[in-house]
Chain A
């Protein structure tokens, strides 16, 4: 029965990973930018939350109200300035610039804060506890909440993209930005909005992670970026629900690995990732030939 518990934990963790991943997937889908600093931005969100809480003493659960819009704004500005400039040069340049950004952020955090781990903690509410089903299954309320939030965010994103005016414009510029220009659409603005959404969701993910676990300056890449990427590849590029599936598969793989050998949790996830890369490189949800 421990296996069942492990699988359930894995599924719920998958929600968190999907939250990590949807911003990465969105930026690639719309602008063809792979933001190597993606995970580090989540950590920045976490650190900002730590600071905000220290100053305003708001409950942890509400820190996202300030941090997420702030990060979204930061995303818009960064996209319109640095990232757009890099995009105008070439895809290679965006990789170089975002990699540089990642190193600068991580070392900046190391320098100005310290190398210790921080945790946001979960506050004093019911969130900190867990409930049980039967004798073998224990579910932490916090993890369940994170999963629900992830699903809600993905639903919201899906709705936004398919039904709203800006969602439509974003899909249009993702398809053909030149044709969009001819219709009077400034694609740089739409790219900015997509980046804002990506930064906002990854900040939310960072806060969630900080509540559930601990983060340090290097967590951005060690954990968040690589897990997000693995989730996207496993699930299949170009589909938000694929990202959720990928996150779940990754989470389950990790938990099963942990059952086998406690220190193999992360490795197990990557092995499954590599297996998917070999067997079905387009991901689990994509149609054959689509990539």
Chain B
């Protein structure tokens, strides 16, 4: 469904994202304070362990993407960071402060706002009312409802419509707008592309530079790997609740991503980043590219390298920056 006026940016050019990402990467301090830090977080859904000792660090200005298949634990991770799940172990630190026991609404007012999976707009409220709710406890900053209307040209005209009457892409825009008017420091985006046509998805991701330009940091979860690689300055791949890959998009090959995504590939190979970090968490040897989870029953030998491209091994430095 086409919107009355075409948006300016149609597609996030890889070059643009790459340039921003490079600059960010260059500035990624080894010892600086991350805006968001997750340390060894384990989350259970009842008896099911959804996340197993996950760690990550997001620095200001980054676009940090978490990718992985369905059920890998990506959304659970984001929801835990936002406060909707309590971890059984581990901690979440925002701007140096321990937020693990903080209620979600408090985290939002502290500057960490999530755009939830599936939009989750308020169906009995109009577009403008949805934005106003988002602005209720807003921090001071550049984003106002008017500015959101400027960014999404079609929105102002239809601000008195109920959100149920909007298309998927329009709803996603309203959901993002609702988060932006709170003037967060960090935006958590959960599966933006879900249920949207590729053109629409690109258009929405095309908004990212505008958002970043106002000083926001973005942590996003995305099933669409190529889209994530286009916009991210740092990626982390999850599989069955564990990290299988982590690094800068230009440092990983498609094969590595595929292997990490599906859990294939040679055991014992190195990860994209050879830099060990305390935040990587003990007990997640799979970061090095090994197979997470148990072997299939009956399988007594580690899968051989036949047919799969050798991944970086820790002992063989390559031009890919392992």
Contact = CB atoms under 8 A, between A and B. Distances in A.
A135 interface: no
Interface string B160-174: 000000000000000
Interface string B96-134: 000000011100110001101000111111000100111
B182 interface: yes
A181 B104 contact: yes
A186 B105 contact: yes
A159 to B, nearest CB: 15
Name the residue among B82, B120, B178 with the largest chain A CB count within 10 angstroms: B120
Nearest to A182: B114
Interface string B250-278: 00000000000000000000000000000
Interface size band for B: 20 to 34
A171 B163 CA distance: 14
Contacts of B84: 178, 181-182
B103 A181 contact: yes
Contact of A168 (B82, B113, B133): B133
A165 B136 contact: yes
A179 interface: yes
> Counting chain B CB atoms within 10 Å of each CB, which of A168, A178, A183 scores highest?
A183
Contacts of A182: 82, 84, 104-105, 108, 113-114, 116, 120, 179
Contacts of B129: 168, 171-172
Q: How large is the interface on A (under 10, 10 to 19, 20 to 34, 35 or more residues)?
A: 10 to 19
B230 interface: no
A127 interface: no
Interface in A184-225: 184-187
Interface centre among B82, B116, B129, B133 (most CB of A within 10 A): B133
A264 interface: no
Contacts of A186: 103, 105
Interface string B137-156: 11000000000000000000
Nearest to A181: B104
Contacts of A175: 122-125
Nearest to B113: A182
Given A183-B108, A183-B178, A185-B133, 5 more contacts: A165-B136, A178-B120, A183-B113, A183-B134, A185-B136
A146 B149 CA distance: 46
Interface in B173-188: 178-179, 182
Contacts of A185: 105, 133, 136-137
